[in-house]
Chain A
Amino acid sequence: CPCRTCCRGPRGAAPAMNCRAEVLEVSVEGRQVEEAMLAVLHTILLHRSTGKFHYKKEGTYSIGTVGTQDVDCDFIDFAYVRVSSDELDRALRKAVGEFKDALRSSGSDGMGQISLEFYQKKKSRWPFSDECILWELWTIKVNVVNLANEQERQICREKVGEKLCEKIINIVEVMNRHEYLPKMPTQSEVDNVFDTSLKDVQPYLYKISYQITDSLGTSVTTTMRRLIKDTLAL
């Protein structure tokens, strides 16, 4: 985040008054973490990206075209649509990769969360530094389970796939509320609202961060295992 000093996310405080905060939770197997996170993040960013703006005279602008593509998951029975932008995909994969590594090295319980924040920059006059104002915050809580055998893994593939379908529906519901969105900026303001660094699409300014949760005991893992066992027993 370019305004490191001021942009406060989940660790700090001060989201904007009309900041939306949404929380999603998923329980996944270790190898499913990346795909599940990417599915959610890409779905959100699909809705929060536009084509590149091209400003013309008199303050009007035209918007480029956003392409989309299907992504099949290897470890989950699931598919999702993402924006056709390799740059964006790389950025998300990098963040998710770091999160996954942190989860893995954190200890046995594997609980953590990824946050996707959308913010606006508000220029302040000297000597005050610019402010970052959070207007939408997505928190994805992840619980990593360990499965004992192939049968459990197969069930997990399907179950996580179904869960992700639900998450996508949740995300779309939120997007449909048509609540606060930053005003479309003038040319001079565009970098305060959008990330213009990508060459093919223009997402709203966003930041991804994560947290690894300290161990809360094994209760969650046990519950997940029990769920799977119950399914097998049916």
Chain B
Amino acid sequence: AMDTDLSSQDRKDLDKFIKFFALKTVQVIVQARLGEKICTRSSSSPTGSDWFNLAIKDIPEVTHEAKKALAGQLPTVGRSMCVEISLKTSEGDSMELEIWCLEMNEKCDKEIKVSYTVYNRLSLLLKSLLSITRVTPAYRLSRKQGHEYVILYRIYFGEVQLSGLGEGFQTVRVGTVGTPVGTITLSCAYRINLAFMSTRQFERTPPIMGIIIDHFVDRPYPSSSPMHPCNYRAGEDNAAVYPSVEDSQEVCTTSFSTSPPSQCVFTVTKAHFQTPSPVVTDTLKVPVMGLAFSHQLSSSRLSYQPAALGVGSADMGYPVLFAGGLNAAHPHQLLGPGKEGGVPPAPSQPAHGTQADQERMCIPLDGVHYSAATPSSSEDTETVSNSSEGKCSSPHDLLETIFIRKVGAFVSKPVNQVTMANLDIPFAMFAPKNVELEDNDPMVNPPDSPGTESPLQGSLHSEGSSGSSTGNTHDDFVMIDFKPAFSKDDILPMDLGTFYREFQNPPQLSSLSIDIGAQSMAEDLDSLPEKLAVHEKNVKEFDAFVETLQ
């Protein structure tokens, strides 16, 4: 070590500065890719907790993941901290957009004063980072994310890997700060070839773990239930949540999606608890941990609620993190039958990169699943398993929760592997005959879990009509069970629920149906000459009539 001249206090300070600088760097980068404008306030009185005299919020998960990636180490020569930003489309294609690298080289500046100059220069470097994160191409992409793609990040520590950026990537240097133990460099390598078409598939190594939203739908009911920002982390439950990270050299890398508040995607992390073997059909296998959350009706936006689903809370590690509808009563079994044929086999563990062990990704809201081993991103047929299973010597069992895609209640057409005959839907008789499924991927409804405090759950059941009030989104909307609030059986022979169901989906007006409409249009046209002739004959009558009106 070349720090013989550095006092131990200075050394300690320097290490602390570098550590927090690394954490703040990650925060700035990730927050700049959330897709929303960031705003923090200046404060003239020092609060003492704002590192580098800058108001940079700390998203807890991000800090947590960064700490995990660093595993107590600091950037040194050959071991850099990298934040990888990538894009993933609704069809499952992904591509790396940027790699932000925090590196340390050997060039030391012995004369520099740690507590003052280094600190201030690190502050300046963070300001530069704030500015630069807005000028690379990924910024504009991230501001537009949501419907067709999401932006993900992944933190890893070790060797910088730029090969995923395609040819001709460019580099921008954010800045450097010399210290007595080396020079800190912050830079960004970014892809310039963004001509990325959905037909192109990108194979990822290391394997993808997790599922992506592949159905981006506009939310039709903006007011029907509250949305939680994706960086809202179960407020109340937050404190409990982060267990100690395994000290493994092969630090698991993590990635989260960064998306606007109205659209949440969550990542899955390693599970820590046992699970009963689930009953599976048409499944989506994801490693799951912790709490379930229900997702938004008819949209791919997740509403995050920390409902316990009967998983032994003592075993729970990280907070909620998965998508899919779970039946509260059977946390590992999804509602309804689905595909026949049982569970698709788990793929073999794919090869890993040396540092980038796992990538956590956003979670799809419908039942699309991905195989970790295959690059194909076609829907419905693949599964994902926790790639850390074989890799990390985890003493914990990995939960693989199986999700079943539930077909919409009002869907008449079978969807891929789900057939009507199999469906045990409550309103099958009302299913319209000519409803076209959008993308064949209806959203799974949040489960009926009366014990939860989710505002979303509450709104689902409060009127019974949230989400189904407009009849034209049946494809996206699935009602698992119908319990209209305030309905009683005593007064009328027909209860509110039955009434509602019966009249929920009245038949279309015949004049509005396309066939009849087309028919009558042709008829109308044909009969026009005839009608005209009649009117001409009666022209005197018409004139007289008009006279009476004047």
A interface residues, Cβ below 8 angstroms from B: 43, 46-47, 50-52, 54, 62-70, 72, 77, 79-81, 83-85, 164-165, 168-169, 171-173, 175-176, 178, 184, 199-201
Determine if B139 is an interface residue (Cβ-Cβ < 8 Å): yes
The answer to whether A172 and B54 touch (CB under 8 A), given A46-B130, A70-B39, A77-B140, is: no
Tell me the bound Cα distance from A169 to B134 in angstroms. Answer: 10
* A80 and B175 form a contact (CB under 8 A): no
Choose from B53, B124, B134 the contact partner of A79 (Cβ within 8 Å). Answer: B134
A56 to chain B, nearest CB (A): 11
* A65 and B55 form a contact (CB under 8 A): yes
Nearest-CB residue, chain A, relative to B129: A172
The answer to whether A69 and B131 touch (CB under 8 A), given A50-B53, A52-B44, is: no
Choose from B40, B43, B127, B139 the contact partner of A69 (Cβ within 8 Å). Answer: B40
Determine if B42 is an interface residue (Cβ-Cβ < 8 Å): yes
* Contacting residues of chain B (114-140) with chain A, CB-CB under 8 angstroms: 116, 121, 124-125, 127-128, 130-132, 134-136, 139-140
* A178 and B121 form a contact (CB under 8 A): yes
Nearest-CB residue, chain A, relative to B45: A64
Determine if B50 is an interface residue (Cβ-Cβ < 8 Å): yes
Tell me the bound Cα distance from A162 to B173 in angstroms. Answer: 17
Residue of B132, B136, B173, B177 ringed by the most chain A CB atoms within 10 A: B132
Tell me the bound Cα distance from A138 to B128 in angstroms. Answer: 17
The answer to whether A169 and B172 touch (CB under 8 A), given A43-B131, A84-B55, is: yes
Determine if B174 is an interface residue (Cβ-Cβ < 8 Å): yes
Tell me the bound Cα distance from A47 to B132 in angstroms. Answer: 12
A67 — which chain B residues lie within 8 A by C-beta? Answer: 39-43, 54-55
Residue-wise, chain B 399-439 has the 8 Å CB interface mask toward A (1 for contact) of 00000000000000000000000000000000000000000
What DSSP secondary structure best describes chain B's contact surface? mixed
* B46 and A175 form a contact (CB under 8 A): no
A80 — which chain B residues lie within 8 A by C-beta? Answer: 131, 134
Nearest-CB residue, chain A, relative to B55: A67
Tell me the bound Cα distance from A79 to B130 in angstroms. Answer: 11
A-B pairs, top 10 by smallest CB distance, nearest first, are A176-B175, A165-B135, A70-B37, A67-B40, A69-B39, A67-B55, A200-B42, A67-B42, A52-B44, A65-B50
* A200 and B43 form a contact (CB under 8 A): yes
B38 — which chain A residues lie within 8 A by C-beta? Answer: 68-70, 81
Tell me the bound Cα distance from A85 to B42 in angstroms. Answer: 7
Chain B contributes a number of interface residues (CB within 8 A of A) equal to 36
B128 — which chain A residues lie within 8 A by C-beta? Answer: 47, 172, 175-176
- Can you list 11 A-B contacts with CB-CB less than 8 angstroms, sorted by A residue number? A43-B131, A47-B128, A63-B46, A64-B42, A68-B127, A79-B140, A79-B143, A81-B130, A165-B136, A168-B132, A168-B135
Tell me the bound Cα distance from A46 to B54 in angstroms. Answer: 11
* B46 and A64 form a contact (CB under 8 A): yes
* B174 and A172 form a contact (CB under 8 A): yes
Tell me the bound Cα distance from A47 to B175 in angstroms. Answer: 12
The answer to whether A64 and B131 touch (CB under 8 A), given A47-B124, A79-B139, A169-B172, is: no
A65 — which chain B residues lie within 8 A by C-beta? Answer: 42-43, 46-47, 50, 53-55
What DSSP secondary structure best describes chain A's contact surface? mixed
Tell me the bound Cα distance from A72 to B37 in angstroms. Answer: 9
Choose from B44, B134, B135, B174 the contact partner of A51 (Cβ within 8 Å). Answer: B44
B124 — which chain A residues lie within 8 A by C-beta? Answer: 47, 175-176
B125 — which chain A residues lie within 8 A by C-beta? Answer: 176
B143 — which chain A residues lie within 8 A by C-beta? Answer: 79
A180 to chain B, nearest CB (A): 13
Determine if B176 is an interface residue (Cβ-Cβ < 8 Å): yes
* A51 and B39 form a contact (CB under 8 A): no
A165 — which chain B residues lie within 8 A by C-beta? Answer: 135-136
* A172 and B42 form a contact (CB under 8 A): no
B130 — which chain A residues lie within 8 A by C-beta? Answer: 46, 68, 81
B175 — which chain A residues lie within 8 A by C-beta? Answer: 172, 175-176
* B173 and A173 form a contact (CB under 8 A): yes
Choose from A66, A70, A168, A200 the contact partner of B53 (Cβ within 8 Å). Answer: A66
A199 — which chain B residues lie within 8 A by C-beta? Answer: 44
Tell me the bound Cα distance from A4 to B458 in angstroms. Answer: 67
* Contacting residues of chain B (161-180) with chain A, CB-CB under 8 angstroms: 172-177
Tell me the bound Cα distance from A164 to B174 in angstroms. Answer: 16
A231 to chain B, nearest CB (A): 18
A173 — which chain B residues lie within 8 A by C-beta? Answer: 173
B50 — which chain A residues lie within 8 A by C-beta? Answer: 65
B42 — which chain A residues lie within 8 A by C-beta? Answer: 51, 64-67, 83-85, 200-201
The answer to whether A69 and B37 touch (CB under 8 A), given A79-B134, A173-B173, is: yes
Q: A65-B55, A68-B127, A84-B42 are in contact. List 12 more A-B contacts (CB 8 A).
A: A43-B131, A50-B53, A64-B42, A64-B53, A65-B42, A65-B43, A81-B131, A84-B55, A168-B131, A169-B172, A172-B132, A200-B42
B173 — which chain A residues lie within 8 A by C-beta? Answer: 173, 176
Nearest-CB residue, chain A, relative to B56: A68
* Contacting residues of chain B (18-65) with chain A, CB-CB under 8 angstroms: 37-47, 50, 53-55
* A84 and B134 form a contact (CB under 8 A): no
Tell me the bound Cα distance from A205 to B74 in angstroms. Answer: 37
A69 — which chain B residues lie within 8 A by C-beta? Answer: 37-40
Nearest-CB residue, chain B, relative to A181: B120
* Contacting residues of chain B (46-104) with chain A, CB-CB under 8 angstroms: 46-47, 50, 53-55
Tell me the bound Cα distance from A75 to B268 in angstroms. Answer: 41
A50 — which chain B residues lie within 8 A by C-beta? Answer: 53
A172 — which chain B residues lie within 8 A by C-beta? Answer: 128, 131-132, 174-175
Nearest-CB residue, chain A, relative to B172: A169
The answer to whether A68 and B135 touch (CB under 8 A), given A46-B130, A77-B140, is: no
B110 to chain A, nearest CB (A): 16
Tell me the bound Cα distance from A72 to B134 in angstroms. Answer: 10
Nearest-CB residue, chain A, relative to B177: A178
B435 to chain A, nearest CB (A): 40
A83 — which chain B residues lie within 8 A by C-beta? Answer: 42
Tell me the bound Cα distance from A81 to B40 in angstroms. Answer: 11
A203 to chain B, nearest CB (A): 12
A199 to chain B, nearest CB (A): 6
